[in-house]
Chains A and B, each alone.
Chain A
Amino acid sequence: MSSSDRPLVVDGLGKRFGETIALDAISFDVDRGEIFGLVGPDGGGKTTLFRILATLLLPDAGTARVLGHDVVQDMWAVRSRVGYMPGRFSLYPDLSVEENLEFFAAVFGTTLKEGRSIIEPIYRQIEPFKARRAGALSGGMKQKLALSCALVHRPDILLLDEPTTGVDAVSRREFWDLLDALKATGLPIVVSTPYMDEADRCDRVALVQQGRLLAIDAPSAIGDRFPRPLFAVRGRRLYAMIGALRSFPHASAVFPFGEVLHYSDTRTGEPSASIADELTAWLQGRGFTDAGVTPIRPGIEDAFMALMGAPREAAA
């Protein structure tokens, strides 16, 4: 398939707000049946991008084609075929679950009955509460209702802006299971998230920071962009060990990663095993007698932090 046939083609897209460059010449495309993730912190430009793709905001530069239609020239053709779930809860809190769905269906000239089969797996989970006001739903249920509302008119592409922010780990998993089921029908899905662990559930991810895409690749390939030897360091006194590791002459960066520390070394040519041995001995010489150092393969979060720029000093 040539890139022009793809359901989403973004080319050199730019947007400024006064002095602030929200999007800086962004280009990417998305295939049918693909989950494309935009991963990055708040304020990176993700929401601006979604608003342009959903035809709610005009770009200053570049073009975006959604399902073959230009988001500026063919705004109305785009709008009727896109399912868009904004980042902030955007349903009517005073309407019931069922009324919200009927409303969104009606806006797109259809009915809940007609849209029922596409939303079935999701709607089944919230149907017992169809009479409840949307404002009184719990976080995970609100997200499922919002996804149902974005799907009820059977869109040909799904744009989801941070659908899982503030949602607990269990509800997040369930939400991603639903996206997998939708993807299997061939629906292209563009989804943003600040959670790095969710990047692994995408076919490809783009790392977004300060209006730029730092990298676009399969999640497993992004880790390979990490430029240095990386090690997991274990021990009982992790906090004290952070300071010790940073004073090691060849230290590049040291960060806590769950139950271990991730240490990267400036010596790219050295065999990992000899660096690990040297570091272990060095830590033990400083009283960290239980220190264990293992070479590891960098993950997406390591790569993101390296791509974000030179490690800043910790503030504490």
Chain B
Amino acid sequence: MSAAIEVHDLTRRFGTFTAVDAISFDVAEGEVFGFLGANGAGKTTAIKMLIGLLAPTSGDARVAGFDVMTQSEDVRRHIGYMSQRFSLYDDLTVRENIALFGGVYGLTDAAVRDRERALLEDLQLGHAADARVESLPLGWKQKLAFSVALLHEPSVIFLDEPTGGVDPITRRQFWEMIYAAANRGTTVFVTTHYLDEAEYCNRVSIMVDGRIAALGTPQELKQQFHERSLDEVFVRLARPDAGQQAGTMSAGSSPEESVSAPGPTPR
């Protein structure tokens, strides 16, 4: 069985600045993989390459069995994507969003109707099927967005900070949906700023300055770094003054940020 995501020396430079610096890792089918890092560590740039939206400078990656460089269309057909910033169309109803995304994913009308029925039932959203998405509470929106991103039964789903700003109960319900999807064999690639959520992942990687500074199960990382929680591991790895590393910065910002004045690097 091949890995759902295979990444080899994947690199992206913007001018003289290396946003993603030769990262390599595999994600197994059905795995929940946490992709962590400080703001500006290169996570978003890496995800853009994995979903076929940004060409790597060098290295290669296969997602769902397809090369992200030469088969980006196939990659996009076989993945789902959801972020806190973009998920659904606010001024369309729940039903219209399902129909729209079903069409975008190339599902037949009959398939869309079947999935719609199942989705509304699973989420207990039948009463709100004809309500505009903007009228739903944020927690429902996020759960609906996740279900819509799975409409075409992708083999890999990318979740970019899916739980930002939602209440603690919804956050946990959302993770149960993630578990359920993984149980059905879907590979989940997720970023989060909540370190307790990282504990729910099978494995996590922590990106620092464009490189993968640590990768393993939450348990392994805590043992490796002799810390009691992943939060402590994260802070230790990502703390800017540790070992005078180049400063962290967001992809696309200019490179002088990494050549900071002596002392702690601003973030």
Which of B13-21, B53-61, B232-240 touches A? B232-240
Docked complex: A248-265 residues within 8 A CB-CB of B = 255-259
Which of B74-82, B96-104, B105-113, B257-265 touches A? B257-265
On whether the beta carbons of A165 and B164 are closer than 8 Å, the reply is yes
On whether the beta carbons of B166 and A42 are closer than 8 Å, the reply is yes
CA distance A211 to B199 in the complex (A): 32
User: Given A138-B248, A258-B196, A316-B180, A305–B266 Cβ distance below 8 Å?
Assistant: no
Docked complex: A172-186 residues within 8 A CB-CB of B = 172-174
Quick one: closest A residue to B251, CB to CB?
A: A138
Which of A25-33, A125-133, A150-158 touches B? A125-133
Q: Tell me if A242 is interfacial: C-beta within 8 Å of chain B.
A: yes
Query: Total number of A-B contacts with CB less than 8 angstroms?
Result: 138
Residue of A144, A256, A304, A316 most packed against chain B (CB within 10 A): A316
User: Given A138-B249, A139-B39, A315-B143, A239–B167 Cβ distance below 8 Å?
Assistant: no
Which of A5-13, A287-295, A306-314 touches B? A306-314
Q: Tell me if B250 is interfacial: C-beta within 8 Å of chain A.
A: yes
Q: Shortest CB–CB separation between residue A86 and chain B, in angstroms?
A: 15
Instruction: Encode contact with B along A132-172: 1 for CB under 8 Å, 0 otherwise.
Output: 10001111110010000000000000000000011111111
Q: Tell me if B243 is interfacial: C-beta within 8 Å of chain A.
A: no
Docked complex: B162-179 residues within 8 A CB-CB of A = 164-170, 172-173, 175-177, 179
On whether the beta carbons of B122 and A315 are closer than 8 Å, the reply is yes
On whether the beta carbons of B267 and A170 are closer than 8 Å, the reply is yes
On whether the beta carbons of B40 and A169 are closer than 8 Å, the reply is no
Q: Shortest CB–CB separation between residue A137 and chain B, in angstroms?
A: 7
On whether the beta carbons of B169 and A312 are closer than 8 Å, the reply is yes
Neighbouring B residues of A316 by C-beta, 8 Å: 122, 173, 176-177, 179-180
What number of A residues sit within 8 Å (CB to CB) of B? 50
Q: Tell me if A301 is interfacial: C-beta within 8 Å of chain B.
A: yes
On whether the beta carbons of B173 and A312 are closer than 8 Å, the reply is yes
Instruction: Encode contact with B along A6-44: 1 for CB under 8 Å, 0 otherwise.
Output: 000000000000000000000000000000000011110
Neighbouring B residues of A95 by C-beta, 8 Å: none
**What's the interface size class on B, roughly?**
35 or more
Quick one: closest B residue to A312, CB to CB?
A: B169
User: Given A128-B266, A168-B238, A169-B195, A40–B176 Cβ distance below 8 Å?
Assistant: no
Q: Shortest CB–CB separation between residue B75 and chain A, in angstroms?
A: 26
CA distance A27 to B264 in the complex (A): 41
CA distance A305 to B239 in the complex (A): 32
Neighbouring A residues of B166 by C-beta, 8 Å: 41-42, 194
What are 22 sample pairs from A and B whose C-beta atoms fall under 8 A apart? A128-B266, A129-B256, A137-B253, A138-B39, A138-B249, A138-B250, A144-B266, A166-B39, A168-B38, A169-B231, A170-B235, A194-B166, A197-B231, A238-B200, A239-B183, A255-B172, A256-B172, A308-B167, A312-B173, A314-B177, A315-B124, A316-B180
Q: State the 3 A-B residue pairs at the shortest beta-carbon distance, nearest first.
A: A41-B167, A258-B199, A140-B267
